[in-house]
Structure 1
């Protein structure tokens, strides 16, 4: 019986929240959303045009570190800190998803406008071929 009580107590204490410590340099939630958004865009670019980032010597993590003036430790501490709060992290990803959808809508609108403004080329159904003259045929066959 004592073993069962000890096991129950151990399980209860092991399930207690163990919050991730606050990073020394805590980034605002909005900044983390911006970082997640930029990361999503770059990863999508990498998936769609795999060589483009390599050709331009862009590494996703280095780009993020430079743009937001971060080091890898600060980045990972903040990532861990925000990910520990599932509801907050889910809300942050919802913001990222909404921004990506908004950007897609903007780009779709621009593409539609570009297609409308593009002058249409007349379709020439009849192709004209230059028939070689007999002289040209003779010169070709003698070669």
Structure 2
């Protein structure tokens, strides 16, 4: 009985320490996956608010990631699933993506504050039109 318990505990420990999702056929590095997550986030927001502008510039939000990173949807989804299975790593990747997004959001605010200091009344939205 004791041997059976030891074997059972060994199996549990081994299975918990390994990622339960198999490695993708085409493994993307953590950095590349972070870049993809960042671009996907930006595209998701841009797709909602700037669909016409994206289309005018020849950007199809549905295929942009695949074309830019020269991957297919299977590779993307396999890697997404693989990294998501490692909660600590995935959380760290999301934090890094959020930092990058916050850095982008701060840039327009700084430009707008500078233009207000110089006495310009035109908003940043007017500059983008």
TM over 0.5: yes
CA–CA separation in structure 1 for the residues paired with 2:44 and 2:53: 12
**Shift, 1:108, TM fit:** 1.1
Instruction: Name the structure where helix makes up a greater proportion of residues.
Output: 2
Give the TM-score normalised by the residue count of structure 2.
0.70
**Over aligned residues, Cα RMSD in angstroms?**
2.5
Once the 2 structures are TM-superposed, how far is the Cα of residue 57 of structure 1 from its aligned partner? 4.7
- Quote the residue 1:90 is aligned against: 91
- Say whether 1:113 aligns with 2:118: no
**Would you say the 8 A contact 2:47–2:61 is kept in 1?**
no
* Runs (5+) with no aligned partner, structure 1: 1-8, 121-143
C-alpha distance in 1 between matches for 2:114 and 2:76: 39
Report runs of 4+ in structure 1 exceeding 6 Å deviation: none
Helix, strand or coil: the match of 2:112?
Answer: helix
Q: TM-score, normalised by structure 1?
A: 0.64
The total of aligned residue pairs comes to: 108
Are 1:46 and 1:52, in contact at CA under 8 Å, matched by a contact in 2? no
Runs (5+) with no aligned partner, structure 2: 1-7, 122-129
Q: How does 1:63-102 map to 2 (within 5 A)?
A: 63-102=64-103
Give how far 1:28 is off: 0.7
